[in-house]
A and B are shown apart, each in its own frame.
Chain A
Protein backbone atom coordinates (compact mmCIF):
# COMPACT_ATOMS: atom_id res chain seq x y z
CA UNK A 1 0.00 0.00 0.00
CA UNK A 2 1.24 3.47 -0.91
CA UNK A 3 1.77 6.06 1.80
CA UNK A 4 0.04 9.39 1.20
CA UNK A 5 1.71 12.63 2.06
CA UNK A 6 0.24 16.12 2.21
CA UNK A 7 2.06 19.02 0.61
CA UNK A 8 1.16 22.71 0.83
CA UNK A 9 0.75 23.53 -2.82
CA UNK A 10 -1.07 26.86 -3.33
CA UNK A 11 -0.55 29.98 -1.19
CA UNK A 12 -3.63 32.01 -0.31
CA UNK A 13 -3.15 34.73 -2.97
CA UNK A 14 -2.96 32.08 -5.69
CA UNK A 15 -6.09 30.34 -4.40
CA UNK A 16 -8.12 33.56 -4.21
CA UNK A 17 -7.00 34.94 -7.56
CA UNK A 18 -7.55 31.51 -9.17
CA UNK A 19 -11.25 31.47 -8.27
CA UNK A 20 -11.89 35.17 -8.89
CA UNK A 21 -10.16 34.94 -12.27
CA UNK A 22 -12.11 31.77 -13.10
CA UNK A 23 -15.38 33.60 -12.42
CA UNK A 24 -14.20 36.72 -14.27
CA UNK A 25 -13.17 34.70 -17.35
CA UNK A 26 -16.51 32.87 -17.39
CA UNK A 27 -18.40 36.19 -17.27
CA UNK A 28 -16.04 37.89 -19.72
CA UNK A 29 -16.57 35.03 -22.18
CA UNK A 30 -20.35 35.03 -21.90
CA UNK A 31 -20.72 38.83 -21.97
CA UNK A 32 -18.15 38.92 -24.79
CA UNK A 33 -20.36 36.62 -26.86
CA UNK A 34 -23.23 39.04 -26.18
CA UNK A 35 -21.14 41.97 -27.46
CA UNK A 36 -19.98 39.95 -30.48
CA UNK A 37 -23.61 39.38 -31.50
CA UNK A 38 -24.00 43.11 -32.29
CA UNK A 39 -21.70 42.62 -35.30
CA UNK A 40 -20.89 38.93 -35.70
CA UNK A 41 -18.08 39.35 -38.23
CA UNK A 42 -14.31 39.64 -37.97
CA UNK A 43 -11.79 41.27 -40.30
CA UNK A 44 -8.02 40.88 -40.59
CA UNK A 45 -7.50 44.63 -41.12
CA UNK A 46 -7.71 48.02 -39.41
CA UNK A 47 -11.11 49.14 -40.77
CA UNK A 48 -13.88 46.63 -41.58
CA UNK A 49 -13.97 45.17 -45.10
CA UNK A 50 -17.67 44.42 -44.94
CA UNK A 51 -17.75 42.31 -48.09
CA UNK A 52 -14.82 40.11 -47.01
CA UNK A 53 -14.97 39.07 -43.34
CA UNK A 54 -12.55 36.29 -42.38
CA UNK A 55 -15.15 34.94 -39.98
CA UNK A 56 -18.88 35.52 -39.65
CA UNK A 57 -22.03 34.01 -38.22
CA UNK A 58 -25.37 34.79 -39.85
CA UNK A 59 -28.82 33.45 -40.65
CA UNK A 60 -30.61 33.13 -43.97
CA UNK A 61 -33.59 31.34 -45.51
CA UNK A 62 -33.07 27.98 -47.20
CA UNK A 63 -34.88 26.99 -50.40
CA UNK A 64 -37.86 25.71 -48.42
CA UNK A 65 -38.16 29.06 -46.65
CA UNK A 66 -36.86 27.83 -43.32
CA UNK A 67 -34.33 29.91 -41.37
CA UNK A 68 -30.86 28.37 -41.12
CA UNK A 69 -27.77 29.41 -39.17
CA UNK A 70 -24.43 29.67 -40.97
CA UNK A 71 -20.82 29.87 -39.86
CA UNK A 72 -18.32 31.27 -42.36
CA UNK A 73 -14.56 30.89 -41.91
CA UNK A 74 -12.54 32.08 -44.90
CA UNK A 75 -14.11 30.50 -47.98
CA UNK A 76 -15.78 27.70 -45.97
CA UNK A 77 -19.43 27.97 -44.95
CA UNK A 78 -21.09 25.37 -42.75
CA UNK A 79 -24.67 25.06 -41.50
CA UNK A 80 -24.96 25.48 -37.74
CA UNK A 81 -28.74 25.86 -37.28
CA UNK A 82 -29.71 25.46 -33.63
CA UNK A 83 -26.26 26.35 -32.29
CA UNK A 84 -24.91 29.38 -34.20
CA UNK A 85 -26.68 31.99 -36.36
CA UNK A 86 -30.20 30.70 -35.84
CA UNK A 87 -30.46 29.51 -32.27
CA UNK A 88 -32.13 29.58 -28.84
CA UNK A 89 -33.55 32.98 -27.84
CA UNK A 90 -33.89 31.91 -24.19
CA UNK A 91 -37.66 32.25 -24.29
CA UNK A 92 -38.44 28.80 -25.64
CA UNK A 93 -38.02 29.78 -29.26
CA UNK A 94 -35.26 30.40 -31.77
CA UNK A 95 -34.10 33.66 -33.31
CA UNK A 96 -31.50 35.13 -35.61
CA UNK A 97 -28.62 35.53 -33.18
CA UNK A 98 -24.99 34.42 -33.41
CA UNK A 99 -24.82 32.58 -30.08
CA UNK A 100 -27.51 30.76 -28.07
CA UNK A 101 -29.13 32.46 -25.06
CA UNK A 102 -27.60 29.92 -22.65
CA UNK A 103 -24.10 31.11 -23.61
CA UNK A 104 -24.58 34.88 -23.28
CA UNK A 105 -24.88 37.46 -20.47
CA UNK A 106 -27.60 38.67 -20.34
CA UNK A 107 -29.45 35.75 -21.95
CA UNK A 108 -31.55 38.17 -24.03
CA UNK A 109 -30.05 40.54 -26.62
CA UNK A 110 -28.66 43.59 -24.78
CA UNK A 111 -25.42 45.11 -26.06
CA UNK A 112 -25.39 47.93 -23.47
CA UNK A 113 -25.76 45.47 -20.57
CA UNK A 114 -23.23 43.02 -22.04
CA UNK A 115 -20.73 45.89 -22.23
CA UNK A 116 -21.33 46.84 -18.57
CA UNK A 117 -20.65 43.27 -17.43
CA UNK A 118 -17.65 42.93 -19.72
CA UNK A 119 -15.94 46.17 -18.69
CA UNK A 120 -16.61 45.56 -14.98
CA UNK A 121 -15.06 42.09 -15.05
CA UNK A 122 -12.23 43.27 -17.29
CA UNK A 123 -11.22 45.43 -14.31
CA UNK A 124 -11.56 42.42 -11.98
CA UNK A 125 -9.33 40.36 -14.27
CA UNK A 126 -6.78 43.15 -14.66
CA UNK A 127 -6.50 43.78 -10.90
CA UNK A 128 -6.17 40.04 -10.18
CA UNK A 129 -3.46 39.80 -12.82
CA UNK A 130 -1.46 42.49 -10.98
CA UNK A 131 -2.00 40.74 -7.62
CA UNK A 132 -0.98 37.39 -9.08
CA UNK A 133 2.01 38.65 -11.08
CA UNK A 134 4.64 37.80 -8.43
CA UNK A 135 3.55 34.14 -8.33
CA UNK A 136 3.20 33.89 -12.08
CA UNK A 137 6.97 33.73 -12.53
CA UNK A 138 7.01 30.30 -10.88
CA UNK A 139 5.34 29.10 -14.08
CA UNK A 140 8.29 30.00 -16.31
CA UNK A 141 9.51 26.59 -17.53
CA UNK A 142 13.09 25.59 -16.75
CA UNK A 143 15.46 24.13 -19.35
CA UNK A 144 15.01 20.66 -17.80
CA UNK A 145 11.24 20.94 -18.10
CA UNK A 146 11.43 21.92 -21.74
CA UNK A 147 13.77 18.96 -22.35
CA UNK A 148 11.36 16.61 -20.62
CA UNK A 149 8.31 17.96 -22.51
CA UNK A 150 8.21 15.22 -25.23
CA UNK A 151 8.13 12.55 -22.52
CA UNK A 152 5.32 14.37 -20.68
CA UNK A 153 3.39 14.67 -23.96
CA UNK A 154 3.73 10.91 -24.50
CA UNK A 155 2.47 10.30 -20.99
CA UNK A 156 -0.58 12.52 -21.63
CA UNK A 157 -1.58 10.44 -24.66
CA UNK A 158 -3.34 8.31 -22.04
CA UNK A 159 -4.54 11.16 -19.82
CA UNK A 160 -6.33 8.91 -17.31
CA UNK A 161 -2.99 7.26 -16.47
CA UNK A 162 -1.32 10.57 -15.54
CA UNK A 163 -0.40 10.62 -11.84
CA UNK A 164 -0.76 13.60 -9.55
CA UNK A 165 2.69 14.74 -8.41
CA UNK A 166 3.86 17.25 -5.82
CA UNK A 167 5.45 19.36 -8.55
CA UNK A 168 3.82 20.31 -11.84
CA UNK A 169 4.82 18.01 -14.69
CA UNK A 170 6.41 19.78 -17.70
CA UNK A 171 3.27 19.74 -19.88
CA UNK A 172 1.13 21.01 -17.04
CA UNK A 173 3.54 23.82 -16.30
CA UNK A 174 3.84 24.86 -19.95
CA UNK A 175 0.04 24.85 -20.29
CA UNK A 176 -0.26 27.17 -17.26
CA UNK A 177 2.59 29.29 -18.61
CA UNK A 178 0.80 29.57 -21.97
CA UNK A 179 -2.47 30.72 -20.47
CA UNK A 180 -0.91 33.10 -17.90
CA UNK A 181 1.82 34.61 -20.08
CA UNK A 182 0.32 34.38 -23.57
CA UNK A 183 -3.46 33.87 -23.86
CA UNK A 184 -4.66 36.12 -21.02
CA UNK A 185 -2.18 38.93 -21.82
CA UNK A 186 -3.23 38.69 -25.49
CA UNK A 187 -6.89 38.94 -24.43
CA UNK A 188 -6.15 41.98 -22.23
CA UNK A 189 -3.98 43.83 -24.76
CA UNK A 190 -6.27 43.12 -27.74
CA UNK A 191 -9.25 44.16 -25.59
CA UNK A 192 -7.61 47.49 -24.73
CA UNK A 193 -6.88 48.04 -28.43
CA UNK A 194 -10.65 48.05 -29.07
CA UNK A 195 -11.05 51.23 -27.02
CA UNK A 196 -10.79 54.38 -29.19
CA UNK A 197 -9.61 56.42 -26.16
CA UNK A 198 -6.92 53.87 -25.29
CA UNK A 199 -5.84 53.88 -28.94
CA UNK A 200 -5.34 57.65 -28.79
CA UNK A 201 -2.97 57.13 -25.84
CA UNK A 202 -1.14 54.17 -27.41
CA UNK A 203 -1.74 53.96 -31.17
CA UNK A 204 1.15 51.49 -31.46
CA UNK A 205 -0.88 48.82 -29.65
CA UNK A 206 -3.59 48.35 -32.31
CA UNK A 207 -0.88 48.86 -34.97
CA UNK A 208 1.16 46.00 -33.48
CA UNK A 209 -1.89 43.74 -33.65
CA UNK A 210 -2.56 44.55 -37.32
CA UNK A 211 -5.18 47.26 -36.76
CA UNK A 212 -8.31 47.71 -34.71
CA UNK A 213 -10.43 45.07 -36.45
CA UNK A 214 -7.50 42.66 -36.39
CA UNK A 215 -7.29 43.29 -32.63
CA UNK A 216 -10.93 42.21 -32.41
CA UNK A 217 -9.98 39.04 -34.27
CA UNK A 218 -7.07 38.42 -31.83
CA UNK A 219 -9.45 39.04 -28.93
CA UNK A 220 -11.76 36.34 -30.30
CA UNK A 221 -8.88 33.92 -30.92
CA UNK A 222 -7.58 34.49 -27.37
CA UNK A 223 -11.04 33.67 -26.03
CA UNK A 224 -11.13 30.33 -27.87
CA UNK A 225 -7.58 29.60 -26.71
CA UNK A 226 -8.66 30.18 -23.11
CA UNK A 227 -11.77 28.00 -23.63
CA UNK A 228 -9.51 25.28 -25.06
CA UNK A 229 -7.20 25.56 -22.06
CA UNK A 230 -10.18 25.32 -19.72
CA UNK A 231 -11.42 22.11 -21.34
CA UNK A 232 -7.99 20.47 -21.01
CA UNK A 233 -7.53 21.86 -17.49
CA UNK A 234 -10.93 20.63 -16.30
CA UNK A 235 -10.37 17.22 -17.88
CA UNK A 236 -6.99 16.73 -16.22
CA UNK A 237 -8.30 17.98 -12.85
CA UNK A 238 -11.11 15.41 -13.10
CA UNK A 239 -8.81 12.57 -14.19
CA UNK A 240 -6.02 13.07 -11.67
CA UNK A 241 -8.16 13.09 -8.53
CA UNK A 242 -10.95 15.64 -8.74
CA UNK A 243 -11.50 16.17 -5.00
CA UNK A 244 -7.81 16.21 -4.15
CA UNK A 245 -7.19 18.85 -6.85
CA UNK A 246 -10.23 20.86 -5.81
CA UNK A 247 -9.25 20.74 -2.14
CA UNK A 248 -5.73 21.88 -2.99
CA UNK A 249 -7.10 25.00 -4.72
CA UNK A 250 -9.39 25.70 -1.74
CA UNK A 251 -7.28 24.82 1.34
CA UNK A 252 -3.85 24.79 -0.26
CA UNK A 253 -3.10 21.19 0.78
CA UNK A 254 -2.56 18.51 -1.83
CA UNK A 255 -2.17 14.76 -1.19
CA UNK A 256 0.50 12.87 -3.14
CA UNK A 257 1.91 9.36 -2.98
CA UNK A 258 5.15 9.34 -1.10
CA UNK A 259 8.00 8.60 -3.44
CA UNK A 260 9.76 5.38 -2.51
Chain B
Protein backbone atom coordinates (compact mmCIF):
# COMPACT_ATOMS: atom_id res chain seq x y z
CA UNK B 1 0.00 0.00 0.00
CA UNK B 2 2.67 2.48 1.08
CA UNK B 3 4.99 1.31 -1.68
CA UNK B 4 2.27 1.72 -4.28
CA UNK B 5 1.65 5.24 -3.09
CA UNK B 6 5.37 6.08 -3.27
CA UNK B 7 5.56 4.67 -6.78
CA UNK B 8 2.47 6.62 -7.78
CA UNK B 9 4.01 9.83 -6.43
CA UNK B 10 7.29 9.23 -8.30
CA UNK B 11 5.35 8.63 -11.51
CA UNK B 12 3.30 11.76 -10.87
CA UNK B 13 6.47 13.82 -10.31
CA UNK B 14 8.06 12.42 -13.47
CA UNK B 15 5.11 13.23 -15.66
CA UNK B 16 4.70 16.66 -14.01
CA UNK B 17 8.31 17.52 -14.92
CA UNK B 18 7.91 16.22 -18.47
CA UNK B 19 4.70 18.22 -18.85
CA UNK B 20 6.38 21.32 -17.46
CA UNK B 21 9.37 20.99 -19.81
CA UNK B 22 7.02 20.47 -22.79
CA UNK B 23 4.78 23.43 -21.92
CA UNK B 24 7.75 25.72 -21.33
CA UNK B 25 9.39 24.60 -24.59
CA UNK B 26 6.18 25.38 -26.51
CA UNK B 27 6.03 28.82 -24.86
CA UNK B 28 9.71 29.34 -25.60
CA UNK B 29 9.05 28.76 -29.31
CA UNK B 30 6.27 31.39 -29.32
CA UNK B 31 7.82 34.70 -30.52
CA UNK B 32 5.43 36.86 -28.49
CA UNK B 33 6.13 34.99 -25.27
CA UNK B 34 9.85 35.04 -26.00
CA UNK B 35 9.79 38.84 -26.27
CA UNK B 36 8.02 38.90 -22.89
CA UNK B 37 10.85 36.78 -21.42
CA UNK B 38 13.37 39.30 -22.79
CA UNK B 39 11.73 42.21 -20.93
CA UNK B 40 14.02 42.23 -17.83
CA UNK B 41 17.10 42.99 -19.94
CA UNK B 42 16.28 46.73 -20.01
CA UNK B 43 15.76 46.74 -16.25
CA UNK B 44 19.07 44.92 -15.73
CA UNK B 45 20.84 47.47 -17.94
CA UNK B 46 19.20 50.39 -16.14
CA UNK B 47 20.25 49.07 -12.71
CA UNK B 48 23.56 47.27 -13.23
CA UNK B 49 24.67 49.37 -16.20
CA UNK B 50 24.28 52.69 -14.36
CA UNK B 51 27.54 54.18 -13.15
CA UNK B 52 30.94 52.76 -13.95
CA UNK B 53 32.07 50.60 -11.03
CA UNK B 54 35.39 48.84 -11.63
CA UNK B 55 35.73 45.10 -11.99
CA UNK B 56 38.04 43.62 -9.37
CA UNK B 57 41.72 43.66 -10.36
CA UNK B 58 43.86 40.75 -9.21
CA UNK B 59 47.46 40.28 -8.17
CA UNK B 60 49.65 38.45 -10.72
CA UNK B 61 49.66 35.25 -8.67
CA UNK B 62 45.98 34.69 -9.53
CA UNK B 63 46.58 34.65 -13.32
CA UNK B 64 45.21 31.43 -14.84
CA UNK B 65 47.89 29.11 -16.30
CA UNK B 66 46.02 29.00 -19.62
CA UNK B 67 43.62 31.62 -20.94
CA UNK B 68 41.06 29.23 -22.40
CA UNK B 69 40.23 29.52 -26.08
CA UNK B 70 36.54 29.47 -26.90
CA UNK B 71 34.40 30.47 -29.87
CA UNK B 72 35.63 30.82 -33.43
CA UNK B 73 39.05 29.79 -34.68
CA UNK B 74 41.40 32.67 -35.51
CA UNK B 75 41.12 34.04 -39.07
CA UNK B 76 42.89 31.79 -41.59
CA UNK B 77 43.03 34.05 -44.64
CA UNK B 78 46.48 34.63 -46.22
CA UNK B 79 46.54 38.35 -45.39
CA UNK B 80 45.90 37.77 -41.71
CA UNK B 81 48.45 34.96 -41.56
CA UNK B 82 51.05 37.14 -43.32
CA UNK B 83 50.45 39.94 -40.80
CA UNK B 84 50.75 37.50 -37.92
CA UNK B 85 54.13 36.28 -39.20
CA UNK B 86 55.33 39.84 -39.78
CA UNK B 87 54.72 41.41 -36.34
CA UNK B 88 51.39 42.82 -37.56
CA UNK B 89 53.05 45.15 -40.08
CA UNK B 90 50.32 45.99 -42.58
CA UNK B 91 47.46 45.50 -40.13
CA UNK B 92 45.55 48.65 -39.23
CA UNK B 93 42.72 49.45 -36.85
CA UNK B 94 40.24 51.75 -38.59
CA UNK B 95 38.05 54.22 -36.73
CA UNK B 96 35.11 55.29 -38.88
CA UNK B 97 31.44 56.25 -38.86
CA UNK B 98 30.13 59.28 -36.97
CA UNK B 99 33.53 60.81 -36.25
CA UNK B 100 35.05 64.13 -37.34
CA UNK B 101 38.40 62.61 -38.29
CA UNK B 102 38.22 59.05 -39.56
CA UNK B 103 41.61 57.54 -38.86
CA UNK B 104 43.57 54.32 -38.52
CA UNK B 105 46.36 52.97 -36.34
CA UNK B 106 48.96 50.24 -36.56
CA UNK B 107 49.64 48.13 -33.45
CA UNK B 108 52.88 50.09 -33.03
CA UNK B 109 50.89 53.35 -33.13
CA UNK B 110 48.65 52.03 -30.36
CA UNK B 111 51.68 51.04 -28.32
CA UNK B 112 53.54 54.33 -28.79
CA UNK B 113 50.90 57.06 -29.16
CA UNK B 114 48.56 56.22 -26.28
CA UNK B 115 49.07 55.62 -22.56
CA UNK B 116 49.29 51.89 -21.83
CA UNK B 117 46.80 50.57 -19.28
CA UNK B 118 47.22 47.21 -17.54
CA UNK B 119 44.44 45.26 -15.84
CA UNK B 120 44.44 41.76 -14.36
CA UNK B 121 40.78 40.88 -14.42
CA UNK B 122 38.50 37.88 -14.46
CA UNK B 123 36.92 36.78 -17.72
CA UNK B 124 33.50 35.18 -17.10
CA UNK B 125 32.25 33.10 -20.00
CA UNK B 126 28.49 32.88 -20.61
CA UNK B 127 28.98 29.09 -20.44
CA UNK B 128 29.85 29.39 -16.75
CA UNK B 129 33.64 29.15 -16.46
CA UNK B 130 36.11 31.90 -15.49
CA UNK B 131 39.77 32.59 -16.19
CA UNK B 132 41.99 35.42 -14.98
CA UNK B 133 44.34 37.23 -17.35
CA UNK B 134 46.57 40.28 -17.39
CA UNK B 135 45.69 42.57 -20.29
CA UNK B 136 47.60 45.61 -21.51
CA UNK B 137 46.25 48.02 -24.08
CA UNK B 138 44.63 51.34 -24.82
CA UNK B 139 41.40 52.62 -23.31
CA UNK B 140 38.59 52.54 -25.88
CA UNK B 141 37.68 56.11 -24.94
CA UNK B 142 41.20 57.35 -25.85
CA UNK B 143 40.92 55.89 -29.34
CA UNK B 144 37.44 57.36 -29.80
CA UNK B 145 38.64 60.77 -28.61
CA UNK B 146 41.45 60.69 -31.19
CA UNK B 147 38.86 60.44 -33.97
CA UNK B 148 36.46 63.04 -32.51
CA UNK B 149 33.05 61.38 -32.02
CA UNK B 150 30.10 63.41 -33.32
CA UNK B 151 27.18 64.18 -31.02
CA UNK B 152 24.89 61.82 -32.96
CA UNK B 153 27.12 58.81 -32.19
CA UNK B 154 25.34 56.58 -29.66
CA UNK B 155 26.94 53.15 -30.16
CA UNK B 156 30.41 51.84 -30.89
CA UNK B 157 30.47 48.80 -33.17
CA UNK B 158 33.56 46.57 -33.10
CA UNK B 159 34.11 44.73 -36.38
CA UNK B 160 36.22 41.60 -36.26
CA UNK B 161 38.25 39.49 -38.68
CA UNK B 162 37.11 36.06 -37.45
CA UNK B 163 33.99 34.32 -38.72
CA UNK B 164 31.79 31.39 -37.70
CA UNK B 165 32.92 29.17 -40.58
CA UNK B 166 30.00 30.14 -42.81
CA UNK B 167 31.35 33.61 -43.59
CA UNK B 168 29.37 35.52 -40.94
CA UNK B 169 31.86 37.78 -39.19
CA UNK B 170 32.00 38.29 -35.43
CA UNK B 171 31.10 41.76 -34.18
CA UNK B 172 30.10 43.42 -30.93
CA UNK B 173 28.92 46.81 -29.70
CA UNK B 174 28.94 49.06 -26.65
CA UNK B 175 26.98 52.22 -25.95
CA UNK B 176 28.98 55.42 -25.39
CA UNK B 177 28.63 55.09 -21.59
CA UNK B 178 30.09 51.56 -21.64
CA UNK B 179 32.80 52.57 -24.11
CA UNK B 180 33.89 55.33 -21.71
CA UNK B 181 34.46 52.81 -18.87
CA UNK B 182 38.08 53.12 -17.64
CA UNK B 183 38.53 49.33 -17.90
CA UNK B 184 37.16 49.04 -21.46
CA UNK B 185 40.40 48.32 -23.33
CA UNK B 186 41.62 47.44 -26.75
CA UNK B 187 44.32 45.07 -25.62
CA UNK B 188 47.50 44.15 -27.49
CA UNK B 189 49.20 42.13 -24.71
CA UNK B 190 47.99 39.18 -22.65
CA UNK B 191 50.12 38.10 -19.68
CA UNK B 192 53.03 40.31 -20.83
CA UNK B 193 53.15 38.76 -24.32
CA UNK B 194 51.48 39.93 -27.54
CA UNK B 195 47.90 38.55 -27.51
CA UNK B 196 48.12 34.96 -28.88
CA UNK B 197 46.20 34.12 -32.05
CA UNK B 198 43.68 31.99 -30.12
CA UNK B 199 42.92 34.84 -27.70
CA UNK B 200 42.27 37.50 -30.33
CA UNK B 201 45.52 38.76 -31.94
CA UNK B 202 46.48 41.42 -32.71
CA UNK B 203 43.86 43.43 -30.84
CA UNK B 204 41.08 42.32 -28.54
CA UNK B 205 38.32 44.34 -26.93
CA UNK B 206 38.28 43.66 -23.17
CA UNK B 207 35.20 44.57 -21.12
CA UNK B 208 35.62 42.91 -17.72
CA UNK B 209 32.24 44.09 -16.38
CA UNK B 210 30.38 41.98 -18.93
CA UNK B 211 30.42 38.34 -20.03
CA UNK B 212 33.22 37.10 -22.28
CA UNK B 213 31.32 37.28 -25.56
CA UNK B 214 31.32 41.10 -25.27
CA UNK B 215 35.15 41.04 -25.43
CA UNK B 216 35.42 40.69 -29.22
CA UNK B 217 38.65 39.24 -30.66
CA UNK B 218 40.64 40.19 -33.78
CA UNK B 219 39.14 43.71 -33.95
CA UNK B 220 40.09 45.64 -37.11
CA UNK B 221 37.44 48.36 -37.32
CA UNK B 222 35.61 50.58 -34.85
CA UNK B 223 32.52 52.25 -36.22
CA UNK B 224 30.46 54.87 -34.41
CA UNK B 225 26.77 54.72 -35.24
CA UNK B 226 23.53 56.45 -34.22
CA UNK B 227 21.59 53.23 -33.59
CA UNK B 228 21.84 49.47 -33.71
CA UNK B 229 19.48 47.42 -35.84
CA UNK B 230 19.55 47.10 -39.61
CA UNK B 231 23.01 46.00 -40.72
CA UNK B 232 24.09 45.99 -37.07
CA UNK B 233 21.44 43.45 -36.10
CA UNK B 234 21.01 43.10 -32.36
CA UNK B 235 24.46 44.59 -31.81
CA UNK B 236 26.61 41.47 -31.82
CA UNK B 237 27.12 38.01 -33.28
CA UNK B 238 25.77 36.19 -30.21
CA UNK B 239 23.08 38.82 -29.69
CA UNK B 240 21.83 37.80 -33.15
CA UNK B 241 21.57 34.22 -31.78
CA UNK B 242 19.34 35.32 -28.88
CA UNK B 243 21.90 36.27 -26.20
CA UNK B 244 21.47 39.53 -24.28
CA UNK B 245 23.02 42.69 -25.68
CA UNK B 246 23.65 43.74 -22.07
CA UNK B 247 25.98 40.92 -21.10
CA UNK B 248 26.34 42.07 -17.49
CA UNK B 249 24.56 39.02 -16.00
Q: Please list the residues of chain A having a beta carbon within 8 angstroms of any beta carbon in chain B.
A: 26-27, 30, 35-36, 38-39, 41, 46-48, 50, 90, 101-108, 110-113, 115-117, 119-120, 123, 160, 194-201, 203, 212-213, 216, 234, 238
Contact = CB atoms under 8 A, between A and B. Distances in A.
A43 to B, nearest CB: 8
Contact of A197 (B22, B28, B66, B209): B209
B9 A119 contact: no
Contact of A112 (B9, B56, B241): B241
A102 B128 contact: no
Interface string B224-249: 00000000000000100111100011
B37 A116 contact: yes
B125 interface: yes
Given A46-B132, A120-B37, A201-B48, A196 B127 contact: no
Given A30-B21, A120-B40, A197-B49, 11 more contacts: A26-B20, A35-B128, A90-B25, A102-B14, A106-B25, A107-B22, A113-B37, A117-B28, A119-B40, A200-B54, A201-B51
A101 B128 contact: no
Contacts of B128: 35-36, 38-39, 216
Contacts of A113: 28, 34, 37, 242
Contacts of B62: 46-47
A200 B132 contact: no
Given A106-B28, A196-B55, A196-B210, A48 B21 contact: no
Contacts of A203: 55-56
Contact of A27 (B24, B129, B208, B241): B24
Interface string B131-157: 110000000000000000000000000
B55 A38 contact: no
A228 B21 CA distance: 20
B126 A38 contact: yes
A97 to B, nearest CB: 13
A105 B56 contact: no
A196 B43 CA distance: 16
A113 B2 CA distance: 40
A115 B243 contact: yes
A108 B25 contact: yes
B122 A117 contact: no
B28 A111 contact: no
Contacts of A46: 62, 122, 130, 132
B210 A101 contact: no
Interface string B7-21: 001000010011011
Contacts of A102: 14, 17-18, 21
Interface string B57-80: 000001010101000000000000
A216 B128 CA distance: 8
Contacts of A115: 126, 243-244, 249
Given A47-B122, A47-B130, A105 B21 contact: yes
A47 B125 CA distance: 11
Nearest to B15: A102
A196 B248 contact: yes
A108 B171 CA distance: 27
Contacts of B132: 46-47
A225 B244 CA distance: 29
Contacts of A90: 21, 25
B187 interface: no
Nearest to A26: B20
A238 B130 CA distance: 43
Interface centre among A27, A46, A47, A110 (most CB of B within 10 A): A47
B141 to A, nearest CB: 17
A113 B31 CA distance: 12
B163 interface: no
Contacts of A213: 129-130
Contact of A101 (B21, B49, B122, B208): B21
